[in-house]
Amino acid sequence: MTRERKIRRLVAVQLRLHELAQWELMDCSAREHEAEERQRRIIEGFNAACGMPALAAQTASRNLRSASIARETLARTRETLAAQALAEARKLKQVQRVSDAADRSAARTDEKRALEDIIDAAARRAQDRERQAMTSLPHAVRGRP
Digit-coded pLDDT (tens) for 86-133: 999 999 999 999 999 988 998 999 999 999 999 999 999 989 888 888
Residue 121, domain member (yes or no): no
Query: Does residue 4 contact residue 103 with C-beta atoms inside 8 Å?
Result: yes
Domain that holds residue 62: 2-109
Residue 142, domain member (yes or no): no
CA–CA gap between residue 56 and residue 53 (Å, rounded): 5
Q: Is the pTM of this model over 0.75?
A: no
Closest among 1, 2, 101, 23 to 15, alpha carbons compared? 23
3-state helix, strand, coil split of the chain in percent (to 5) is 90, 0, 10
Residue 118, domain member (yes or no): no
User: In total, how many domains does the chain have?
Assistant: 1
Residue 129, domain member (yes or no): no
Q: At CA 55, angle to CA 53 and CA 61, rounded to 5?
A: 100
Residue 135, domain member (yes or no): no
φ, ψ at 116 (rounded to 5°): -60, -40
Closest among 2, 73, 8 to 34, alpha carbons compared? 73
Residue 61, domain member (yes or no): yes
Residue 35, domain member (yes or no): yes
In tens, the pLDDT along 35-45 reads 889 888 877 87
3-state class of 74 per DSSP?
A: helix
Whether the pLDDT of residue 49 is over 90: the answer is no
Residue 18, domain member (yes or no): yes
